[in-house]
Amino acid sequence: MNLPFDAVQLSDRVMGNEELARRIVRRFLEDLPHQVVLLEQAVRDGDVPGVRLIAHAIKGAAAGVGAAEISAASRTLEQWARDGDLSTAADGLREISASFERAGPMMESFCQSISQP
């Protein structure tokens, strides 16, 4: 089962450096909405290579920050684009957005909890 956000995985990845983990999560929280807008535009335009590249970037960023659900949804959308099939891309976009709605509050809480002395 994919977790919306796995803080332990991220902490392990940055060897316990809480400040670095907080910066990574904040950057992800700031950047993902912009990436989703670009992805939505690529889907609307039928830009298969664009969908594949943006979904790939989201997949990697989400995996790196411990957002496994977002990464999995992006991987599925990337695969559809790799296969040249955007017929269900709107479903993939909805899943990415829904995953972000679940992960976002957890990530915000993570940033706030570790930033306190």
Q: Is 43 helix (H, G, I), strand (E, B) or coil?
A: helix
Domains for the chain: give ranges and CATH numbers.
7-114 (1.20.120.160)
CA–CA distance from 109 to each of 11, 25, 49, 71 (Å)?
A: 15, 11, 35, 20
pTM for the model stands at: 0.90
pLDDT tens column, 9-44: 999 999 989 999 999 999 999 999 999 999 999 999
Q: Is 72 helix (H, G, I), strand (E, B) or coil?
A: helix
Phi then psi dihedrals of residue 102, to 5 deg = -75, -40
Q: Is 41 helix (H, G, I), strand (E, B) or coil?
A: helix
The structure tokens listed for 48 are 């298969």
Q: What is the CA radius of gyration of the chain?
A: 15
